[in-house]
Amino acid sequence: MLELLLATAGLVLSVVIVLWGVSIAIRDVSIIDMAFSSIIAGVIVFVYWYSNASGQAANVTLGLVIIWALRMTVYLVNRNWGHGEDVRYTKLRSWVPEGWPFYWFSLRQVFLLQGAVIWVLTLPQQIAFVSAPETAMTILGWIGVALWGIGFFFETLGDWQLSRFRADSSKNGTVLNTGLWRYTRHPNYFGELAQWWGLLLIVAHVPWALVGAVGVAIYSWLVVRVTGKATLEKKMSREKPEYAEYVRRTSGLIPWFPKA
């Protein structure tokens, strides 16, 4: 077990350091976002191979992670490629002097941080695959598959609706409040977290895998309180006056009917 965890930690560390070097060369820190899901899929594939997993639970987990990663990678590359560095990272450049002070800063605050998130997020699957590589699906596991499916639907459709909204110049300066966005202010974030909690349930029959739930909890906290929902809502509140009314009427994360 320890040997596997050290191997995956080394694998993730090596990949993020290489990406850090590439980001310096092309002056674009946001490449880590486009690679995030692919690195996770790579970790899961490596652990699946390393543990000789052949059970139904491992096979289902592997398939769902690959589907998630393919969709996410295609979406983010299509959205970000050729559009320059994400404004969040461009803003970081004003915090420290350019050159190596910023390079070291981006390594600590972006690349190593995301690498740590990737490693802890996949802990349940790492532990389950190596501890019980041949286990079958349980009732709880199929509930996890259903939760993953709900999350995939919300994230995929939410991203598609947002892309269409942004592409319509007549909607500039307005707030997206139709489709799934009528029932939650962040269908994509809700979908993302639902998928990872669903993946946790699939391997929850392996007792030690539940220790890895701390990774999913940390990821959820970061998405809701730090890098995702909270940051985006501050930005939207500054830029769009009508966003306050949207916040009053619409559920923050878990889909629900809007208030009158």
260 pLDDT more than 80: yes
Distance (Å, whole) CA 69 – CA 95: 32
Q: Where are the domains of the chain?
A: 2-249
Closest by alpha carbon to 243, among 168, 175, 167? Answer: 175
pLDDT of residue 121: 97
pLDDT at 96: 84
- d(Cα 37, Cα 57) in Å, to the nearest integer? 21
pLDDT at 3 over 80: yes
Q: CB–CB of 79/163 below 8 Å?
A: yes
Closest CA to 16 of 40, 48, 46: 40
Interval 69-112: pLDDT, tens: 999 999 999 888 777 777 777 788 888 888 889 999 999 999 99
- Find the mean pLDDT for residues 53-80: 94
Using one digit for the tens of pLDDT, what is the confidence trace for 114-154? Answer: 999 999 999 999 999 999 888 899 999 999 999 999 999 99
Residue 2 binned pLDDT confidence (cut-offs 50, 70, 90): confident
Report yes or no: 51 and 133 within 8 Å, Cβ to Cβ: yes
- pLDDT the model gives residue 219: 96
Q: What is the pLDDT of residue 185?
A: 97
pLDDT in tens, 182-234: 999 999 999 999 999 999 999 999 988 888 999 999 999 999 998 889 889 99
Spell out the residues 6+ positions from residue 17 whose beta carbon is closer than 8 angstroms to its own.
107, 111
Is the pLDDT at 181 greater than 80, yes or no?
Answer: yes
User: Is the pLDDT assigned to residue 4 strictly greater than 80?
Assistant: yes
Angle at CA of residue 143, ends 121 and 75, nearest 5°: 50
Residue 188 and residue 166 in contact, taking contact as beta carbons nearer than 8 Å: no
